[in-house]
């Protein structure tokens, strides 16, 4: 991930926490990429929401698309998550800062979707 850290638009360090594939009824397969990004923290963080959303788009393009194209890992939808600390999937943590980007893969590109 060191190369990704240097290339992120915000310049923030991050760690790939987990990648999960899920079947979504009526929508195909969804790949979820979860990253720890301590600099998005409300207290003491240096990356604001606009910069975090730019990072989400960049991570979808540079990390999710190549994986979603693999035959064994194909995904119709991608979710990219930035969180300032580990938060178990499906749970909440009121003290944690999290940003989510949901994308449809269209013509090999990330197209933002509402969720």
What does the pLDDT read at residue 2?
43
- End-to-end CA distance of the chain: give it in Å, rounded: 28
The 10s digit of each residue's pLDDT in 13-39 is 999 999 999 888 877 889 999 999 999
pLDDT at 3 over 50: no
What does the pLDDT read at residue 6?
55
Element housing 52 (H / E): helix 49-59
Contact at 8 Å (CB) between 46 and 54?
no
- Listed by start position, the domains of the chain span 2-113
pLDDT at 4 over 70: no
CATH fold of 2-113, please?
A: Diaminopimelate Epimerase; Chain A, domain 1 (3.10.310)
The 10s digit of each residue's pLDDT in 60-100 is 999 999 988 888 888 889 999 999 999 999 899 999 999 99
């Amino acid at each position: 991930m060191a190369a990704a850290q240097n290339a992120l638009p915000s310049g923030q360090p991050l760690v790939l926490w987990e990648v999960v594939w899920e079947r979504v009824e009526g929508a195909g397969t969804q790949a979820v990429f979860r990253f720890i990004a301590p600099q998005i923290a409300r207290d003491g963080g240096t990356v604001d929401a606009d910069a975090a959303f730019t990072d989400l788009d960049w991570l979808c393009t540079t990390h999710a698309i190549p994986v979603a194209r693999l035959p064994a890992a194909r995904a119709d939808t991608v979710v990219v998550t930035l969180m300032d600390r580990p938060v178990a999937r499906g749970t909440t943590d009121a003290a944690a800062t999290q940003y989510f980007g949901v994308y449809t893969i269209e013509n090999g590109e990330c197209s933002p979707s509402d969720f």
